[in-house]
A and B are shown apart, each in its own frame.
Chain A
Amino acid sequence: MTDSYLMRNLRAVRGRAYPRLIGSTREPSWFVFDVILPLFTIAGYAYVYKFLDARAELIGYVVLGGAMTAFWLNILWSMASQLYWEKEIGNLPLYLMAPISRMSILAGMAVGGLFETTIQAAMTLAIGAIAFNVVFSLASPVMLLVVFVVTMIALYGMGMMFASLYLLLGREAYHLSALMMEPVYFASGFYFPVRHLGFWAAAGASVIPITLGLDALRQIIFPEGIAEDAFLPLNTEIALLSGLCVVFMVLSRYALRYMEYLGKTTGRLTLRWQ
Chain B
Amino acid sequence: MTALDSVDLRINKGELFGVLGPNGAGKTTLLKILSTLLLPTSGKAYVAGFDVEKDLLDVRKRINMVSGGEISGYGLLTVRENLWMFSQFYGIKSKEANARIEELLGRFGLTEKAKEKVRTLSTGQRQKMNVIRGFVTNPEIVFLDEPTLGLDVNAARAVRDFIVDWIRSDRSRTVLLTTHYMMEADELCDRIAIIDDGKILACDTPSNLKRMVKMNTTLTLSVAGLNEIAGFDTIQGLNSYSQTKDVESSTTKLRFVLEDESCVSDIVSKVVAEGSKIMSLQKTEPTLEDVFIKLVGRGLE
Residues of A within 8 A of B (CB): 1-3, 5, 7-9, 11-12, 14-16, 18-19, 22-23, 26-27, 89-91, 93-100, 105, 264-265, 267, 269-270
Say yes or no: B37 contacts A269, CB within 8 Å: yes
For the complex, give the distance between the alpha carbons of A19 and B84 in Å: 11
Partner of B77, one of A3, A14, A22, A89: A22
Among residues of A, the one whose C-beta sits closest to the C-beta of B84 is A15
A218 to B: closest C-beta gap in Å: 36
* Contact A270-B37, Cβ < 8 Å, known A3-B91, A3-B93, A94-B72: yes
Partner of B85, one of A18, A26, A89, A93: A18
For the complex, give the distance between the alpha carbons of A266 and B30 in Å: 14
Say yes or no: A2 contacts B38, CB within 8 Å: no
- 14 A-B contacts, Cβ less than 8 Å apart? A1-B90, A1-B91, A5-B57, A11-B92, A14-B88, A15-B84, A19-B85, A93-B32, A94-B89, A97-B64, A99-B90, A100-B91, A267-B38, A269-B37
B39 lies within 8 A of chain A by Cβ: yes
* Contact A97-B77, Cβ < 8 Å, known A2-B93, A11-B91: no
B61 lies within 8 A of chain A by Cβ: yes
| Inter-chain contacts of A99 with B (CB < 8 A) | 57, 60-61, 89-91
Partner of A2, one of B57, B72, B73, B92: B92
For the complex, give the distance between the alpha carbons of A221 and B253 in Å: 96
Per-position binary interface string of chain B over residues 76-106, scored 1 when its CB falls under 8 Å from any chain A CB and 0 otherwise:
1100010011111111110010000000000
**Interface on chain A toward B: helix, strand, loop, or mixed SS?**
helix
Say yes or no: B96 contacts A95, CB within 8 Å: no
Partner of B39, one of A97, A105, A264: A264
| Inter-chain contacts of A1 with B (CB < 8 A) | 61, 90-92, 137
B29 to A: closest C-beta gap in Å: 8
For the complex, give the distance between the alpha carbons of A1 and B84 in Å: 14
Q: Count the A-B residue pairs with Cβ separation under 8 angstroms: how many?
A: 104
The 8 residue pairs across chains A and B that have the minimum distance between CB atoms: A15-B88, A8-B91, A98-B89, A99-B60, A90-B72, A99-B61, A11-B88, A3-B91
For the complex, give the distance between the alpha carbons of A19 and B91 in Å: 17
A82 to B: closest C-beta gap in Å: 11
* Contact A22-B81, Cβ < 8 Å, known A27-B76, A90-B71, A91-B73: yes
B194 lies within 8 A of chain A by Cβ: no
Say yes or no: A93 contacts B90, CB within 8 Å: no
* Contact A15-B65, Cβ < 8 Å, known A26-B76, A91-B73, A99-B60: no
19 new A-B contacts, CB < 8 A, other than A90-B70, A95-B89, A264-B38, are A1-B92, A1-B137, A2-B91, A2-B96, A5-B57, A12-B88, A14-B88, A15-B85, A15-B88, A18-B85, A19-B74, A19-B76, A19-B85, A89-B71, A91-B73, A98-B60, A265-B39, A267-B38, A269-B37
Say yes or no: A19 contacts B77, CB within 8 Å: yes
Say yes or no: B76 contacts A23, CB within 8 Å: yes
